[in-house]
Structure 1
Amino acid sequence: MMDKILSNYSASISEFKKSPTKILNNAKGESVAILNHNTPYGYFVPSALYEQFINLADDYLLGQEVEKRANSKNKTIPVSLDAL
């Protein structure tokens, strides 16, 4: 069974060690699958893409917390805008 490669670009660990700049330039800002014996070992992800992943994860977790609190059985406390 072959593992799915979740990237349009890939390189062996040996290739990546020899010329990382060349491989990253060829990927044009996209992720690169690093292969070990033709199996994905890891992914090199550009910093801008990593930042997007982190922001998506933060948004997802925040949404989970909002949903949890909206569905909680805790009593709400009415507050007038003047009291704020």
Structure 2
Amino acid sequence: MTFPVLADVAASITDLKRDPMGTIREGHGETVVILNRNEPAFYAVPPARYQAMLELLDDLRLAETVRARQGGETVSVEIDDLIAEAEAGIRA
């Protein structure tokens, strides 16, 4: 049976147990797939990559909201009014 490997760097669980940080460093900031008996067991994702993934997901959700609201009612506002309202909310 074949499995997709969605990373450029792969390591075994044995390698990970032997040298966890070295295994992650081998990825040079990219995701590392950890294999168990030549099957992907999990992906080790560095913090910067994980944050980028979460931001992308957030952007996709916002884009979905924008598409859902297209053609809907619009409201005209003045930026100064919004700033004043926000400042009043902070003081309250």
TM-score greater than 0.5 by the shorter chain: yes
Question: Residue deviations 1:14-67, cap 9 Å, x none?
Answer: 210111121122211111001111011110000000000000000000000011
SS at match of 1:33: strand
How many residues are treated as equivalent by the alignment?
A: 79
**1:27 partner letter:** G
Q: Unaligned 5+ residue runs, structure 1?
A: none
Aligned: 1:33 with 2:28: no
Q: Unaligned 5+ residue runs, structure 2?
A: 82-92
Q: Which runs of 4+ in 1 moved over 6 A?
A: none
SS at match of 2:26: helix
Identity between Structure 1 and Structure 2 (%): 33
Larger relative contact order (C-alpha < 8 A, sep ≥ 6)? 1
Matched residues in 1 for 2:29 and 2:64: separation? 31
TM-score, structure 1 normalization: 0.81
Aligned: 1:62 with 2:62: yes
Question: How far is 1:11 from its partner?
Answer: 0.9
Aligned to 1:17: 17
**1:36 partner letter:** N
Alpha-carbon distance change, 9 to 71 in structure 1, aligned in 2, over 3 angstroms: same
Give the alignment's Cα RMSD to 1 decimal: 1.8
TM-score, structure 2 normalization: 0.75
